[in-house]
Structure 1
Amino acid sequence: MLQKLRDRTSGWAATIVIGLLTLPFLLVVDQGYLGGVGANSVAQVKAPPTWWAGAPSWWPASMLWRHEEVSTDEFRQRFEQERMRQRQAQGDDFDPRAFESLENKRTVLDSLIDEKALLLAAERAGVVVGDVAVRDYIQGMPAFQVDGRFDATRYQLALSSQMPPQTPRQFEALVRQSLQQSLLPTGIATSTFATDAEVDRIVRLADETRDAQVALLPPHEEDTAEVTDAQAQAWYDAHKGDFMRPETVTIEYVEVGPEQVPAPEQADEATLRSRYEEEKARFVEPERRLASHILIRVDADADAATRKAAEEKAARLAEEAAADGADFAALARANSEDPGSREDGGDLGWVEQGVMVAPFEEALFAMQPGQVRGPVQTDFGYHVLQLRQVEAGAQEPFEQVREELAREQAQADRERAYSELTGRLTDVIYQNPSTLDSAARETGLQVQKLGPFSRDQTIGVAASPEVKRAAFSESLIEDGTASDPIEIGPSHSVVIRVIDHAPEEPRPLAEVRDTVVAAVRADRRGKAAVAAAEALVERLRAGEALADVAAAANAEVVPLDGLPRGAPVPTAAANDVLFEAALPVEGTPSVGRFGLEDGRQAVFVLTAVHPGDPAKLTPEQRTQLRAQLAQIDGTAAADDYVRRLRERFIVVVEESQL
């Protein structure tokens, strides 16, 4: 019955039936299903049901569609990750204002949309990632390994150091989803292959060499003909971008740095002792405990019976380990399911507080040396603990840390003085942001002037990218008000105000006429050189010998035998021309010309083409090349798969949420 209904759910009749069935849900339908994006989403990827590929996207049939949303929080987190990546890659050249462009936001959003499309496709294809695959993947990650083996302590530390911190269960869910998304494109990418015929064709092309005779023509004669006013004006109008006066600003600024902040007085003994008492806990060696454990692992989705059996096994092992003469290490090697410590007899090394998960740590730090306790339940399963040794913390005396305290106090005093001076400066400027004079007088600082300077110039405080970005920002230029303090170094900042701005504009023709005339003459000379070279090429095509043509043009002939593809000889561009030239045919020379970087021209005759020899490949080289070609094809196929997914699904983007 159900199969018959499914077979008939297509066409206009099915649409009407489904419409009638879904009418009762009108009052509770989510607006996201009606085609819009929710208030907490940036984008939505929608796919029709697998059993009705032609389902319309309009309501009420749209209620049958599956969808995945890109939440605003998800987008912002990924965008911040990209910001950090680019800031790290670009260093001082990173421009936070430019990074906030809509183009960058769409690039980040597109990657998230691709991931959601892949997730939908995986679900529709019935892709499921098992617990064993997740566990094996995590244990194989180098970040969680010590000496090539998974280490539970490092795993916990890595997760707890994330922002925000993650539990193992949360991380496993993330890994599971990532694997589910990647399995299909990875399968496509790894399913491609290259045939021997393809390898041979690539070798023939890539290793091809060519023999040519090249005549290097002498520089064309200088153009000394008159450049009329009309010619100069026409060139100027067509190339105004070449004659621009750069945008410049002139700023005034007040600097607060080491030279402006008075040096603090040396802290007295009482201050240092008071600081020591307040921060005594810093100078205590933490208590450490030498521990071992046996883990009976339980998966997160295990049923009650499985959990009960694991708990009972851990309890039995705890009794055995606590018995007189028991060998805890031997029990661990035989029973523990922690691959990071099992071969070492369950040894976890020295453990400090704040390292392990809470239940484990609470039990361990409540034990006495030599004691065995268990079972202790955590997210990993059930543990049997053995405390082998305790190393108590020790307090460092004041005299031992006095110098460190003095340095820290001096630094704190300098920072406090800097903050107070910067705060006073800022408060006064906020009262009258249209000038720096009054603020400078009240703080005893000096107003300095810099400029005019352009975006490309690096002078004074404008060598700081942050200062330059602020100086050329629209808000400071238009308002003429002072900036917020701009940090240009540790405890070193400036407040700037733009006092003059000259926008980018073309220099008048009268000012650049000599440059324009030179450009016109250089252009005419270049065109004349090309025309002369083309005339020589026509003579070569007509059958004249290159030696005769070169002698008549007073050109130097250079043989280029065995020229490899891609070599920058005579230049990279010239090499491209030589390898794009038609193959020489008996009785018909392959000729052409190319330009050199110094403006000279060259004409050539291609005399022979030598394809690469696939027989020279060793078996290892052939295998490696085949793998490289397969990888290239596989990557292209996976990219094409993702692109076609987006074409099959409906993607709705709410740019106002970006």
Structure 2
Amino acid sequence: MLQKLRDKTSGWIATVILGLLIVPFAFVGIEQYLGQRTDNSVAKIDAPPTWWPSAPSFWPVSVFWQHDSIGIDEFRRAFEQERQRQRAQQGEAFDARAFESVDNKRAILDGLIDARVQQLSAQRDGMVVSDAMVRKAIQEVPAFQVDGKFDYTRYKLALASQVPAQNERQFEQVVRESLQQSMVVAGVAGSNFVTAAEMDRLLGLLGERRDASVLPLPPAVADTGAVSAAEIQKWYDGHATTYRAPEAVTIEFVEVNSATLPAPAPADEATLRQRYEQEKNRYTEAEQRLASHILVRVPEGADAAAQKAAEQKATQLAAQAKAPGADFAALARANSDDTGSQAVGGDLGWVSKGMMVGPFESALFAMKAGEISGPVKTEFGWHVIQLRDLKAGAQESFEQVRETLAREQAEADRERAASEFSSRLVDLTLKNPSSLAPAAREMNIPLQKLGPFSRSNAQGVAANPAVLRAAFSDNLIQDGTISDPIELEPGHSVLIRVTSHTPERALTLAQVRDQVIAAVRADRASKAARKDADALLARVKAGESLEAIAASRLLPPPQVLPNVPRGAPVPEASVAEAIFAVAAPAAGKVSVGQSQLADGRVVLFTVSKVTPGDVASMPPAQREMVQQQVAGFGGNDDVRALVSSMRKRVTVTVVERNL
């Protein structure tokens, strides 16, 4: 059988057929092989080759596409950063459960995708960020400045304090990528402009003033007429969502407050001395050295010849710096490759141990005051170091810090006692998770009750957002178990249990009959008042003045409002908005309109004159500022349109399971 198979497949026709079959199977095989790997991406971005922008993604040539992705770690970092930002902004109102929603995750991911698409577009268009641009961006970061000027020491400390820590080259690469990403959109945003004619028209509208008269009508006359059963039923059926009882719960809870627990005994002398020995470094002022340096940078990947040349240059600079009368600062300004300290003569300020890379630090702390080192090699290149001054470290004695130690130990003891108390309480609740009463009796603390309450009328401890979220959580409602400790403030927490729950429900007509009757009557009164106002408005449109209308109804004369500016709350913002919404009156005529006050009363008004804003009265500097702001608004719209267009030119695949 195998021989027959070999004979059948040895002809040239069979060879061609097999060859054609191999091609698709090869691509399928590759895809299957790659598919077996663990996918650590949250989103994949695929861009067609620049030489075929319209290439379909299903075509085999897609292997030549440009592929990028957003990893789980990158997404998680962005997600946590946004979580911290919103928590700091919203405080106790921050809802951690709502933040974890899928919609919120997609919104954060969309921001990352937009940024990556912008960077990809800049790379494909050949946009390059120069070293000078990177340096300028870094030196303009306020966190790296002291008294408004870039400070190299502050810069190094800031990089070292990041988690994880970054060196200068890593941070420069981050800045470079960020600048590259923003180049296109920044250019588009900055290219928007507003013409002089557009500004004149806008300023004329913004500065427009109107002469108006307003006549508030009296409140609607209360309706006391009978309400039929049919009217009641119709209103109830049409406003069913209005007559609902909100979801409500009743809880029992216990409090653990370190301030009310018995105070622990004061710490003895031995405990305080032991704490002092353990934390001795806190009370030690580290030795500091005032240093300057000259850096001869060695490019990454430089060959031996370049390394040697840099070392020789550093040796020559060291010799010049050691020469009698030499000006080290001048040499640094003329020769140093350290952009952060070059302009200030190589000054690094006061340096403590741990602030500099190992070889630099070892050399600096082995020097004597006034000494200049020979070339010192680090990952950045060769350094010539000058030690200008030093401050010896100092150690505070136990007696000097005893009061601080005692206060801190007492606080620690209180926190530990509260923690142990809370732990014992939790252990007891775990033995009987369906009731707080046994644990409260065992720990001799009161068992308190609260409710029923809804999300909108919670009081006491239930008004705390964290307690409110727990009280209405599905777990506590469905299981009837006890919550974990919920912190109200440091050292003060509660444990709660939902004892009863009433879901949101429709109120029966019998329960709200009086409310429905009142609503029907209020609606009839409002409609009658509106109909009356419409009739009065028709009389004004027919040529009757507001004064005559007021006199016919024995109302106070209308209020005259000359030169009302746009946005003025006269008599209320809604009325002013309506005054500026009507068309400008013809010569000798008035424009007529009506609005409603917050208390429901109707206001009739007329506009007799419109005065455009005086464009020439705005100072040139202020006009320019407004013009830039308006252009900025338009630029932001252009950026959104551009990013949307960029998204359409790439294929984005979201890996939902990794969100």
Taking structure 1 as the reference length, what is the TM-score of the superposition? 0.90
The answer on whether the counterparts of 2:589 and 2:608 sit within 8 Å (CA) in structure 1 is no
Decide which moves more: 91-100 or 138-147: 138-147
| Partner Cα separation in structure 2 for residue 374 and residue 23 of structure 1 | 65
The answer on whether the counterparts of 2:259 and 2:491 sit within 8 Å (CA) in structure 1 is no
Shift of 1:588: 6.8
| Partner Cα separation in structure 1 for residue 621 and residue 325 of structure 2 | 58
Secondary structure of residue in 1 paired with 2:375: strand
The answer on whether the counterparts of 1:373 and 1:384 sit within 8 Å (CA) in structure 2 is yes
Shift of 1:18: 13
1:146-161 aligned within 5 A: 146-161=146-161
User: In structure 2, what is the equivalent of residue 224 of structure 1?
Assistant: 224
**Amino acid in the other structure paired with 1:239:** H
Shift of 1:303: 6.5
1:148-297 aligned within 5 A: 148-258=148-258, 261-297=261-297
**Amino acid in the other structure paired with 1:100:** E
User: In structure 2, what is the equivalent of residue 563 of structure 1?
Assistant: 564
Decide which moves more: 204-213 or 263-272: 204-213
Is residue 318 of structure 2 the alignment partner of residue 314 of structure 1? no
Shift of 1:200: 1.3
User: In structure 1, what is the equivalent of residue 9 of structure 2?
Assistant: none
Note closer, same or farther for the CA distance 1:135–1:380 as it changes in structure 2 (3 Å cut). farther
Is residue 369 of structure 2 the alignment partner of residue 373 of structure 1? no
| Partner Cα separation in structure 2 for residue 587 and residue 323 of structure 1 | 93
Secondary structure of residue in 2 paired with 1:373: coil
Decide which moves more: 373-382 or 569-578: 373-382
| Partner Cα separation in structure 2 for residue 593 and residue 161 of structure 1 | 62
Give 5+ residue unaligned stretches, structure 2.
Answer: 1-18
| Partner Cα separation in structure 1 for residue 499 and residue 640 of structure 2 | 52
| Partner Cα separation in structure 2 for residue 153 and residue 352 of structure 1 | 10
Shift of 1:187: 0.5
The answer on whether the counterparts of 1:369 and 1:389 sit within 8 Å (CA) in structure 2 is yes
Deviations along 1:19-70, one digit per CA (max 9) or x if unpaired, are 99897565445888x9x99721111222211211220111423222223212
Shift of 1:407: 1.8
Secondary structure of residue in 2 paired with 1:39: coil
Secondary structure of residue in 1 paired with 2:267: coil
Secondary structure of residue in 2 paired with 1:372: coil
**Amino acid in the other structure paired with 1:606:** V
User: In structure 2, what is the equivalent of residue 11 of structure 1?
Assistant: none
The answer on whether the counterparts of 1:216 and 1:602 sit within 8 Å (CA) in structure 2 is yes
User: In structure 2, what is the equivalent of residue 432 of structure 1?
Assistant: 432
Note closer, same or farther for the CA distance 1:307–1:608 as it changes in structure 2 (3 Å cut). farther
Residues paired across the two proteins, number = 640
1:455-474 aligned within 5 A: 455-474=455-474
User: In structure 1, what is the equivalent of residue 581 of structure 2?
Assistant: 580
Shift of 1:182: 0.5
User: In structure 2, what is the equivalent of residue 478 of structure 1?
Assistant: 478
Is residue 111 of structure 2 the alignment partner of residue 111 of structure 1? yes
Shift of 1:86: 0.6
| Partner Cα separation in structure 1 for residue 125 and residue 269 of structure 2 | 73
Decide which moves more: 445-454 or 116-125: 445-454
| Partner Cα separation in structure 2 for residue 343 and residue 195 of structure 1 | 42
Is residue 497 of structure 2 the alignment partner of residue 497 of structure 1? yes
Shift of 1:534: 1.3
| Partner Cα separation in structure 2 for residue 176 and residue 221 of structure 1 | 71
| Partner Cα separation in structure 2 for residue 301 and residue 221 of structure 1 | 89
| Partner Cα separation in structure 1 for residue 301 and residue 150 of structure 2 | 22
Deviations along 1:259-300, one digit per CA (max 9) or x if unpaired, are 553211122222222332333333322222232212234455
| Partner Cα separation in structure 2 for residue 447 and residue 71 of structure 1 | 49
Note closer, same or farther for the CA distance 1:615–1:266 as it changes in structure 2 (3 Å cut). closer
Shift of 1:157: 0.8
User: In structure 2, what is the equivalent of residue 335 of structure 1?
Assistant: 335
User: In structure 2, what is the equivalent of residue 348 of structure 1?
Assistant: 348
Secondary structure of residue in 1 paired with 2:435: coil
Note closer, same or farther for the CA distance 1:393–1:586 as it changes in structure 2 (3 Å cut). closer
The answer on whether the counterparts of 1:591 and 1:606 sit within 8 Å (CA) in structure 2 is yes
The answer on whether the counterparts of 2:135 and 2:339 sit within 8 Å (CA) in structure 1 is no
User: In structure 2, what is the equivalent of residue 6 of structure 1?
Assistant: none
**Amino acid in the other structure paired with 2:39:** A
Shift of 1:224: 1.4
User: In structure 1, what is the equivalent of residue 650 of structure 2?
Assistant: 649
| Partner Cα separation in structure 2 for residue 274 and residue 583 of structure 1 | 85
Secondary structure of residue in 1 paired with 2:377: strand
Deviations along 1:409-440, one digit per CA (max 9) or x if unpaired, are 22222222222222222222223211223333
**Amino acid in the other structure paired with 1:205:** L
| Partner Cα separation in structure 1 for residue 32 and residue 131 of structure 2 | 33
The answer on whether the counterparts of 2:360 and 2:376 sit within 8 Å (CA) in structure 1 is yes
The answer on whether the counterparts of 2:253 and 2:449 sit within 8 Å (CA) in structure 1 is yes
User: In structure 2, what is the equivalent of residue 14 of structure 1?
Assistant: none
Shift of 1:176: 0.7
Secondary structure of residue in 2 paired with 1:425: helix
Secondary structure of residue in 2 paired with 1:266: coil
Shift of 1:611: 2.2
| Partner Cα separation in structure 1 for residue 618 and residue 329 of structure 2 | 55
Decide which moves more: 126-135 or 62-71: 62-71
Secondary structure of residue in 1 paired with 2:166: coil
1:511-530 aligned within 5 A: 511-530=511-530
Secondary structure of residue in 1 paired with 2:395: coil
Decide which moves more: 493-502 or 559-568: 559-568
User: In structure 2, what is the equivalent of residue 363 of structure 1?
Assistant: 363
Deviations along 1:300-346, one digit per CA (max 9) or x if unpaired, are 57676555433321121123334456443443344334455445543
User: In structure 1, what is the equivalent of residue 16 of structure 2?
Assistant: none
Deviations along 1:150-203, one digit per CA (max 9) or x if unpaired, are 222111111111122222122111111110110111101111221111111112
Note closer, same or farther for the CA distance 1:59–1:405 as it changes in structure 2 (3 Å cut). same
User: In structure 2, what is the equivalent of residue 624 of structure 1?
Assistant: 625
The answer on whether the counterparts of 2:223 and 2:524 sit within 8 Å (CA) in structure 1 is yes
Secondary structure of residue in 2 paired with 1:252: strand
Note closer, same or farther for the CA distance 1:233–1:59 as it changes in structure 2 (3 Å cut). same
User: In structure 2, what is the equivalent of residue 537 of structure 1?
Assistant: 537
Secondary structure of residue in 2 paired with 1:267: coil
Note closer, same or farther for the CA distance 1:382–1:215 as it changes in structure 2 (3 Å cut). same
**Amino acid in the other structure paired with 1:151:** D
Decide which moves more: 86-95 or 327-336: 327-336
Decide which moves more: 402-411 or 319-328: 319-328
Shift of 1:380: 4.0
**Amino acid in the other structure paired with 1:653:** V
| Partner Cα separation in structure 1 for residue 616 and residue 393 of structure 2 | 71
Secondary structure of residue in 1 paired with 2:285: coil
**Amino acid in the other structure paired with 2:257:** G
Decide which moves more: 178-187 or 563-572: 563-572
Secondary structure of residue in 2 paired with 1:652: strand
**Amino acid in the other structure paired with 1:651:** V
| Partner Cα separation in structure 1 for residue 303 and residue 139 of structure 2 | 24
Note closer, same or farther for the CA distance 1:117–1:652 as it changes in structure 2 (3 Å cut). same
| Partner Cα separation in structure 2 for residue 406 and residue 591 of structure 1 | 78
User: In structure 1, what is the equivalent of residue 64 of structure 2?
Assistant: 64
**Amino acid in the other structure paired with 1:447:** L
**Amino acid in the other structure paired with 2:180:** Q
The answer on whether the counterparts of 1:156 and 1:357 sit within 8 Å (CA) in structure 2 is no
Note closer, same or farther for the CA distance 1:282–1:584 as it changes in structure 2 (3 Å cut). closer
Note closer, same or farther for the CA distance 1:236–1:358 as it changes in structure 2 (3 Å cut). farther
User: In structure 1, what is the equivalent of residue 7 of structure 2?
Assistant: none
Give 5+ residue unaligned stretches, structure 1.
Answer: 1-16
Shift of 1:589: 5.0
Note closer, same or farther for the CA distance 1:327–1:614 as it changes in structure 2 (3 Å cut). closer
Note closer, same or farther for the CA distance 1:473–1:370 as it changes in structure 2 (3 Å cut). same
Decide which moves more: 468-477 or 592-601: 592-601
| Partner Cα separation in structure 1 for residue 500 and residue 386 of structure 2 | 74
Is residue 405 of structure 2 the alignment partner of residue 405 of structure 1? yes
**Amino acid in the other structure paired with 1:561:** P
